[in-house]
Structure 1
């Protein structure tokens, strides 16, 4: 059986970059791709003859994700790359001060709906994906779970303040993943900060953002070198540990 890879957030940014990379492999793996948005038309055409199953689904829905996992009962998943997430910006501020990320996540503007929605997607959504597909991961001899986290989830690295919803959701995500690493020792779990990448998390290009392609090359080296003894680590795209 060919390798099976599950990629979330597959319609844009790094998720789409990972999808393009793995579909170009020979032999190509079987890929399960998820996103709340459809694949771009150009990408869908390019991947038409590859072994990809794409699902328009919501990672926070227990019903939808469990139903999807049931479709692939008894299929081992060898690699899960979780790219789906949101940035936690207050929508009204984004609309009013387009282009100013910091202004949309300050102490004075942060609200309940933004905060809880960010946790729902970034923290619960991740837990939902992993628990739903955990039986499939356990069927693999060398399963890897790579979660795109963020340096903003590091409490000790926070020197700038702000970013309330996003920082908190990623810090919580890091804690959840460490528990997975302890509770499920036969799967390797990695928290990976890909750098400030130009993705769909923000509706405009942030200053200093690198392209998904540039980040991808570094991330792949880290993923390929991931071993079970690395489980629970929190690293940047060069493989260097990030303090908690």
Structure 2
């Protein structure tokens, strides 16, 4: 049984990852902005201690630090899942700059803040892994311009992941980025390619199979390597 910390478990991929991991017996520490809004199906897991919900907003450094103080156990896997699509107005020719900054706060700075706050917990695990949900849209080989704030935030977090992989190599901590697929969630929309169940199942398998030799890499939900 592993202890997995997942940010943003209140909906979408984070919710489904939590469901899959709980069902197979892992312990999950899930972060949400409002822990009072617990799914009915999770109450038993909360009561028996298999699931712990922490209040955390990845925009807020104080919130992250307070959440980390509440955890006193090794974290085997940290999944940076919380993210936003960004503002409605995000063209290079017509940009909501405040919305752009907020997208960077959530999608780029948030994951780095979370890793830094929970690094002592990761170091207590014998084979720690950090998995950041990015997007193929952030790959520099994917030259499109729609949703440029979102694309930029994901390209930037990929570079953060590369840096973390380098800096945590001596600790034996594996750090990667993942593209979860175009998923049928509130963010992806109903016409997306795959279901949230397919994405979560693929991501869990990828994480299970991950080795330290793959640190610093970028994969999609099927395990295929993606160019940065």
Give TM-score, length-normalised by structure 1.
0.85
The structure 2 residue matched to 1:120, chosen from 78, 102, 105, is: 105
Q: Does 1:131 align with 2:116?
A: yes
In the TM superposition, residue 40 of structure 1 has moved relative to its aligned partner by 5.0
Q: Quick one: which of 25, 32, 44 aligns to 1:35?
A: 32
3-state secondary structure, aligned to 1:55: strand
Q: C-alpha separation between the residues in 1 aligned to 2:81 and 2:186?
A: 11
Distance 1:184 1:147 in 2: 15
Structure 2: distance between partners of 1:180 and 1:57: 22
**Partner of residue 148, structure 1:** 133
The answer on whether the counterparts of 1:79 and 1:144 sit within 8 Å (CA) in structure 2 is: yes
Q: Structure 2 matches for 1:158-177, cutoff 5 A? A: 158=143, 160-177=144-161
**Distance in structure 1 (CA, Å) of the matches to 2:64 and 2:29:** 12
- Provide the secondary structure at the position in 1 that maps to 2:94: coil
> Which protein shows a greater Rg?
1
The CA deviation at 1:8 is 0.8
The answer to whether residue 19 in structure 2 is matched with residue 20 in structure 1 is yes
Tell me the distance in 2 between the aligned counterparts of 1:108 and 1:225: 42
Return the alpha-carbon distance in structure 2 between the equivalents of residues 117 and 168 of structure 1.
Answer: 12
* Equivalent in the alignment of 2:207: 223
Does the 8 A contact of 1:181 with 1:188 survive in 2? yes
| 1:106 Cα deviation from its structure 2 partner | 2.6
Distance 1:228 1:89 in 2: 36
Deviation at 1:112, TM superposition (A): 0.8
Structure 1 residues without counterparts, runs of 5 or longer? 91-103
**TM-superposed deviation, 1:48:** 4.2
1:207 aligned counterpart, secondary structure:
coil
Specify the alignment match of 1:86 in structure 2.
84
Deviations 1:79-124 (A, max 9, x none): 111210000132xxxxxxxxxxxxx433343211111000000011
**Aligned-residue offset at 1:46:** 5.6
One of 14, 30, 44 as aligned partner of 2:42: 44
Partner of 2:186: 200
Q: Give the TM-score of the pair, scaled to structure 2.
A: 0.91
Deviations 1:135-164 (A, max 9, x none): 110110000111111001101122x32221
CA distance in structure 2 between the aligned counterparts of 1:174 and 1:107, rounded to whole angstroms: 21
The reply on whether 1:233 has 2:221 as its aligned counterpart is no
Residue 190, structure 1, aligned to residue 189, structure 2: no
Q: Quick check: 2:31–2:55 contact (8 Å CA) kept in 1?
A: yes
Q: How many residue pairs align between the two structures?
A: 224
Matches within 5 A, 1:55-70: 55-70=54-69
